[in-house]
Every structure is written in structure tokens, then in C-alpha cells.
Amino acid sequence: MSLDPKTLKFDDKGLIPAIAQDQGTGEVLMMAWMNAEAVAHTLETGRVTYWSRSRSAFWVKGETSGHVQELVEMRIDCDRDCLLVIVRQSGPACHTNRRSCFYTAIRDGDEVEVMSPMV
Amino acid sequence: MSLDPKTLKFDDKGLIPAIAQDQGTGEVLMMAWMNAEAVAHTLETGRVTYWSRSRSAFWVKGETSGHVQELVEMRIDCDRDCLLVIVRQSGPACHTNRRSCFYTAIRDGDEVEVMSPMV
């Protein structure tokens, strides 16, 4: 069955959350949003492409920073309202220069930084 | 710095996406939504608790199925608008009885089921 991005369930803004996971380490790198065109662009080009809600623009991940995400495999969840993109990540995924955006842990009720920026 | 769930960025419905990842395998199990009370309940009880958008009710994961998610660690992303919960998952995370909700892959443009229901 061939994927038609229109069969995914987008929210009232036409967006679907996409979780990026590192192929090698299994690390969850980030979560961002795609619209139907971003899904199609990601599948066609193999370059993970999001929709930037703050800039209202396509966001080919790493286009300016060089920290690209090469698509290994896209997966759809059971409700068809969330995507998982398994990627090869060049350098940091986070704009703070950390490998992952999820660098703040809650431990004993306190926020603890568990990851340093890459050098 | 102690976490106040109100410092997280919830969407216009008062919700924040939460990605559940298996502690042992690193597998991404599911994505669901929490409100501030669900975040607090998850941290207080160690039982991952979501907000069911379809039922408009708290959803202590596994409360009826037994397929609970024991919280190992909660993480916050750089924008404070997404959570990662690292969990010990009992049995399948997906209502289809599969370990993960992300059992459909896109391969060569086609949808392929890459995971079977647990027996």
C-alpha cells in the first residue's frame, strides 16, 4: 500500500508531530512538526524537512547549520497522527549545540542538565 | 531548580506532547499528551499518566490493561514544549497489542508492517 501523506491525521493547523531518533544510538533527538508537503519532501529527498511554526516556513533540517538529518526510515503510529523518523544525524540536533534537545532531566523534583553542548 | 509544571509550554488546549521511550531497548513506544495535572501526577506517583483527548479524561497508562509505564526519568526539551518519558513498559504499549505504536514503516514508498502483536 503506497503512502499518501493526505491519509495521515493532521491537527487543525495541518501539522503532525515528528519524533527524530538516532539510528545508531536510539537516542531521541528532537520533536518538531511537519505538514503534508514536509512529509512528501522528506520522503522524496531523504532530507528530513519540518514546518517551522515560528517562521511559518519549510525547514530543511541543517540547511543553514549543516546539521542535517538523513532519513533512514519513516514510521507512522497506530492512530496515524504521529511520525517517527529514524535518522543519521550530523552533529548536534539541538540549536543549543547539544546532541539532543532533551538535555534537561527531572531528578528528585529538580531540573538537572544531563548533556553538555558538543565541542 | 525545582520543576513547576506550569513553567512548561502547553498548547492552546493546555496540552504538551509526551514521547515514551523504553529504558532498556531505547525503543520509542508511543506519543500521547499530558496537561499540567498529568505531568504532576506522573512525577508524584511514578506511573505515567496522560490526558486522553478522545475521552477528555486522565489516563493512567495501563490502569485497565495492566500495561503500565513505570517512570524512570522525565526529560524536557530545549523549548519546554515537549516531554520525553523514559519508562519501564509492562507488555505492549500499543492498544493493538504491539510493543510500540510505530509499527508501520514507509519502505520504497509503501506501508509495511514491521512489528507483530505480542502473544
Q: How confident is the model at residue A2 (pLDDT cuts 50, 70, 90)?
A: confident
Does residue B40 fall inside a structural domain? yes
Residue A19 CA to residue B102 CA, distance in Å, equals: 11
Q: What is the mean pLDDT of residues A62-73?
A: 96
Q: What is the pLDDT of residues A91-116, one digit of tens each?
A: 999 999 999 999 999 999 999 999 99
Does residue B15 fall inside a structural domain? yes
Does residue B79 fall inside a structural domain? yes
Chain A CB contacts of B26 below 8 Å: 25-27
Looking at residue B1, what is its pLDDT?
A: 61
Task: Indicate the residue type of A76.
Answer: I
Does residue B119 fall inside a structural domain? no
CB contact under 8 A, A76 and B26: no
Q: What is the pLDDT of residues A23-54, one digit of tens each?
A: 999 999 999 999 999 999 999 999 999 999 99
Residue A114 CA to residue A91 CA, distance in Å, equals: 18
State phi, psi for B54 to the nearest 5 degrees: -75, -35
Does residue B21 fall inside a structural domain? yes
Per DSSP, helices labelled H in B8-104 are 36-45
CB contact under 8 A, B19 and A28: yes
Does residue B118 fall inside a structural domain? no
ipTM score of complex: 0.96
Q: Going by DSSP bridges, is the β-strand pair B69-76/A104-107 parallel, antiparallel, or unpaired? A: antiparallel
Looking at residue A1, what is its pLDDT?
A: 62
Looking at residue B3, what is its pLDDT?
A: 86
**Which of the residues in chain B have pLDDT under 50?**
none
Strand segments (E) across chain A: 16-22, 28-34, 49-52, 57-60, 69-76, 83-89, 104-107, 110-113
CB contact under 8 A, A79 and B101: yes
Does residue A118 fall inside a structural domain? no
Does residue B24 fall inside a structural domain? yes
* CATH assignment of the domain containing A91: 3.10.20.810
Residue B105 CA to residue B75 CA, distance in Å, equals: 27
Looking at residue A6, what is its pLDDT?
A: 86
Do B102 and A84 touch, CB atoms closer than 8 A? yes
Range of the domain at B81: 5-113
Do B71 and B48 touch, CB atoms closer than 8 A? yes
For chain A, the domain total comes to 1
